[in-house]
Amino acid sequence: MKPHAILFDLDDTLWPIAPVIAEAELTLHAWLAAHAPAVAAQWSVDALRAHRAALAAQQPELLIDLGALRRASLQAVFAAAGADAAGVEGAMAHFVAARNAVTPYDDVLPGLRKLRRQVQLGTISNGNADLDVIGLAQHFSVSLAAARFGAAKPAPGIFRAACEALGVAPRDAVYVGDDLALDVAGAQAAGLRAVWMNRRGAALPAGAPAPDAICANFDELLAWLEQQLAE
């Protein structure tokens, strides 16, 4: 069936995220050293990560909003260090700005421009990227984030809600993402076709869900979609 809409994951699908988060956490620690030195003295970058992971294990409901998880962790470490809690919002503002300093893969902008001429585009993300800040919001008619929607991938509801917002049936939509469990299995369970964006050329693990297509980049995605649109 010809797809009427293409929905995308964001992190590690449209841009690499691990180096951005690593740099954001380093610059956050430098910000803490300047503005909340007691916190920086007691909590290294690794210790802050470990605290956040422990908090997520204790309160898994926070995982639906990674920004809220980070804020709650900072509030706790500020309190433990006896630092002014007012500094938490400054720390969050610094981190969010650094977290959104992403660089799309080279093929993304040309690919989005081509796709927009053929189908509706949208995004679904469990993360907290800000497409307006990043400068890609204009390419998408709908963007759903787990924190605002109230459920995270692979829950089928967030996929179906995005399709509804675009005015298309799930069977007429394709979801593109890098994660086999969250993106491929989640989308297929909701009735969408799913493309595994496999930029690293990894082998499909045994027992993994079978994507409707596997693409290494936007050029391969466009070629596959053109074939679907021509049928």
Token pair of 41 as six digits: 């003295």
Round to whole Å and give the CA distance between 6 and 115.
8
Residues 94 and 131 in one domain: no
Q: What average pLDDT does this structure show over 215-223?
A: 96
pLDDT band for position 217 (cuts 50, 70, 90): very high
Check residue 154 and give its pLDDT: 97
Residues 151 and 216 in one domain: yes
Q: pLDDT tens digit string along 165-215?
A: 999 999 999 999 999 999 999 999 999 999 999 999 999 999 999 999 999
Which residue range(s) make up the domain with 211? 5-15+104-230
Q: pLDDT tens digit string along 64-101?
A: 999 999 999 999 999 999 999 999 999 999 999 999 99
Q: Looking at the chain, how many residues does it have? A: 231
CB atoms within 10 A of CB 197: 26
Instruction: Identify the domain boundary among 45, 80, 99.
Output: 99
Kindly tell me the burial class for residue 55, based on how many C-beta atoms sit within 10 Å of its own C-beta (0-12, 13-18, 19 or more).
Answer: middle
Instruction: Identify the domain boundary among 99, 117, 133.
Output: 99
Residues 84 and 186 in one domain: no
Residues 95 and 60 in one domain: yes
Instruction: Quote the strand ranges of the chain, DSSP E.
Output: 5-8, 120-125, 142-145, 173-177, 193-197, 213-215
CATH no. for residue 130?
3.40.50.1000
Q: pLDDT tens digit string along 130-175?
A: 999 999 999 999 999 999 999 999 999 999 999 999 999 999 999 9
What one-letter code names the amino acid at 142?
V
Instruction: List b or e across 68-88, with b for residues whose CB sees 16 or more CB atoms inside 10 angstroms.
Output: ebbbbbbeebbeebebeeebb
Check residue 231 and give its pLDDT: 65
Residues 81 and 110 in one domain: no
On whether the CB atoms of residues 52 and 133 are closer than 8 A, the answer is no
CATH no. for residue 34?
1.20.120.1600
Residues 132 and 176 in one domain: yes
| pLDDT > 70: percent of the chain | 100
Please provide the distance, in angstroms rounded to a whole number, between the alpha carbons at the two ends of the chain. Answer: 7
Q: pLDDT tens digit string along 9-18?
A: 999 999 999 9
Is residue 230 pLDDT above 80, yes or no?
no
Residues 45 and 76 in one domain: yes
Round to whole Å and give the CA distance between 221 and 217.
6
Round to whole Å and give the CA distance between 123 and 104.
15
The total domain count for the chain is: 2
Check residue 206 and give its pLDDT: 93
Residues 44 and 56 in one domain: yes
pTM for the model: 0.93
Residues 118 and 175 in one domain: yes
Residues 117 and 224 in one domain: yes
Token pair of 94 as six digits: 């610094």
Instruction: Identify the domain boundary among 84, 99, 114.
Output: 99
Residues 23 and 9 in one domain: no
Residues 63 and 113 in one domain: no
Check residue 226 and give its pLDDT: 86
Is residue 228 pLDDT above 90, yes or no?
no
CB atoms within 10 A of CB 116: 15
